[in-house]
Structure 1
């Protein structure tokens, strides 16, 4: 009998990235013999991304934005109708506290550690901690997007006398979205990229994601390496501050902000890149999180400038270009060394980090190791 899995997500994928795994693994799981359904909030971006990444065999079920109580009720009704063998909860949040039908096994994913976020205090901290502990008790299995989360939830489960199976499963990239191209820089955008050394960052433009560190690093680097150009793709709380710094320091030639970049535009910018930047901080939050863009960089086979923290270190090993977390001077130094070295390749087998590869690991694990689909 064909096993059925239903992914339950919440929010718009532009703001809440937890739907990425559902959309990324839907088509590969279908190829592996699963009947796949994905429950998503009805937003233009969710519909667009689902159409781009999911095949015709995937059942997409959209719900309108509601209060938390109504969203839980609506999702529970959808899941009851679908009656999957596996209910995959994309994140342990209140809006995903969906009732599982009889005989359905619940898998809960952890992709961050909200209880260790420095900005979470008081009642909010109690709420997120309660949800994290609830997942251990209520789930039949846990998926952890980082090694740090595997360790944290392993120790918590042990203290709670729970034997909840866990799977380490980082994010990945979609081969339908990321396919490198050769670009003649002299012929595109009126030749503005010709003769430049281009590094790209894609993600939230916030201080804790390194927006200001990158800006300061390029400021320090531009006099010795005037060919450097940093392309920042995304939006965030620090965007206005970055624009102000660029304007006041006269850095318009060295930093370009694109705003939000659609999936269809990613190939162009990533194929331009001589290197990528994936800033990290030496904090529990960054050790726990799995930066999804890191894996999207891999198929372009360019050096990645990052820190010896969490999943970038686990994924890149000795292939990464590392700077001290939060140190703009060291970031500038490492980028300068990279430019001077003439290094152009990362040298990592990107095929090991596709959603197809992740789906195969998940499929073997859930069928054989946990016995959920026996």
Structure 2
């Protein structure tokens, strides 16, 4: 089987781009894998570490030239499966010989963070993806329901697969930090600062916890984005520079070191469409460390963490203080081993391969090839 991943990845690898890059080494045991990715030094370094795959770097040119480049790659590789993690005018290609899979990680047309025109643009892309694809890979059950309903409306026969994101091998157990009896603690957020996920409430909760206990708790933000400067100003105004640190973007090789140094890991969410229709890809990685995770009770989160999570109500600083405080007192968590394995990239790659193999044998694939 020949699989072509068309991947868009910038400095930070998010969503479907991460899935393609993490699954590729495992899928190479079963099939011939090619990754076509936008040309950059970061991406060249990423792919250099992946063995037994074919790499194609696509220049960021004008629309038509970019599409021509992709067309030449498709013609040369003649893939059985074409997967893309990002749908826009550069990837709205038609290929009658390949089974086309589009991944959807969020429902951008329903995001409260976007303007009406932006949402309208994404709504067009979302509906177009139904007509030009043969299969959909979806990381959120609510999102899967939406796309199945949409495909029924237009009577489109498609293959669907719910498949969450995963995590790499276990963090070294000997490096786990257990500071239940210590007075120095680190609460860490790892991820993008491109939008506000209740970060000011998190800062307020850390200030409150430091004020009301004899513990010294440090909050660390590992990530970058457009709200970073706003948060720094907020910290300065609250005179909390001593307890909040901004570490910026963290290279992938250093991620484990930062996670191991923390006592509690944060996955802030809100009861809004932007979070209801996505899967927080950091959760399996967090779970692999054996550290307590403070987050909110959304469907995908509870499926992943179950009763091992420390949950709070979004916008409620008191609830957040209690969740962080309970997590600090609890210490390291013994997550269910079968659940950890379920969210491993090895298992997810195996599930993906079984699904695409079934897709190629389906009536949908027969119609595509005819």
Query: How high is the TM-score relative to the length of structure 1?
Result: 0.89
Contact 1:10 1:16 in 2 (8 A): no
* Structure 1 residues 74 and 310: alpha-carbon distance in aligned structure 2, compared to 1, 3 A threshold: farther
SS of alignment partner, residue 208 of structure 1:
coil
Contact 1:181 1:268 in 2 (8 A): no
Per-residue deviation, 1:166: 0.6
> Residues 94-243 of structure 1 correspond to what in structure 2 (within 5 A)?
94-100=89-95, 102-175=96-169, 179-180=171-172, 182-183=174-175, 195-225=183-213, 226-243=215-232
SS of alignment partner, residue 61 of structure 2:
coil
SS of alignment partner, residue 75 of structure 2:
helix
Are 2:36 and 1:46 equivalent residues in the alignment?
no
Contact 1:13 1:20 in 2 (8 A): no
Query: d(CA) in 2 for partners of 1:300 and 1:173?
Result: 10
Figure out how many residues of one structure are paired with residues of the other and give that number: 357
Query: d(CA) in 2 for partners of 1:162 and 1:356?
Result: 31
SS of alignment partner, residue 40 of structure 1:
strand
**Structure 2 unpaired stretches of 5+:** none
SS of alignment partner, residue 250 of structure 1:
coil
Which of residues 272, 282, 302 is equivalent to 2:291? 302
Which of residues 354, 364, 374 is equivalent to 2:344? 354
* Structure 1 residues 212 and 45: alpha-carbon distance in aligned structure 2, compared to 1, 3 A threshold: farther
Which of residues 349, 353, 357 is equivalent to 1:363? 353
Per-residue deviation, 1:74: 1.5
Which of residues 300, 310, 313 is equivalent to 1:321? 310
**Structure 1 unpaired stretches of 5+:** 186-193
Query: How high is the TM-score relative to the length of structure 2?
Result: 0.90
Which of residues 261, 267, 283 is equivalent to 2:256? 267
Residue in structure 2 matched with residue 61 of structure 1 by the alignment: 56
Query: d(CA) in 2 for partners of 1:266 and 1:181?
Result: 15
Per-residue deviation, 1:146: 0.8
Residue in structure 2 matched with residue 190 of structure 1 by the alignment: none
Query: d(CA) in 2 for partners of 1:41 and 1:207?
Result: 25
SS of alignment partner, residue 173 of structure 1:
coil
Per-residue deviation, 1:365: 1.4
Residue in structure 2 matched with residue 188 of structure 1 by the alignment: none
Residue in structure 2 matched with residue 74 of structure 1 by the alignment: 69
Per-residue deviation, 1:369: 5.4
SS of alignment partner, residue 302 of structure 1:
coil
Q: Map Cα deviations across residues 58-96 of structure 1 (whole Å, 9 max, x no partner).
A: 111101112333322211221211110000111222222
Q: Map Cα deviations across residues 206-227 of structure 1 (whole Å, 9 max, x no partner).
A: 4433322321221222112332
Contact 2:176 2:260 in 1 (8 A): no
Query: d(CA) in 1 for partners of 2:118 and 2:240?
Result: 40
Query: d(CA) in 2 for partners of 1:209 and 1:45?
Result: 27
Contact 1:182 1:271 in 2 (8 A): no
Q: Map Cα deviations across residues 173-195 of structure 1 (whole Å, 9 max, x no partner).
A: 123xx63364598xxxxxxxx84
RMSD of equivalent CA atoms: 2.1
Per-residue deviation, 1:10: 2.3
SS of alignment partner, residue 247 of structure 2:
strand
* Structure 1 residues 93 and 329: alpha-carbon distance in aligned structure 2, compared to 1, 3 A threshold: farther
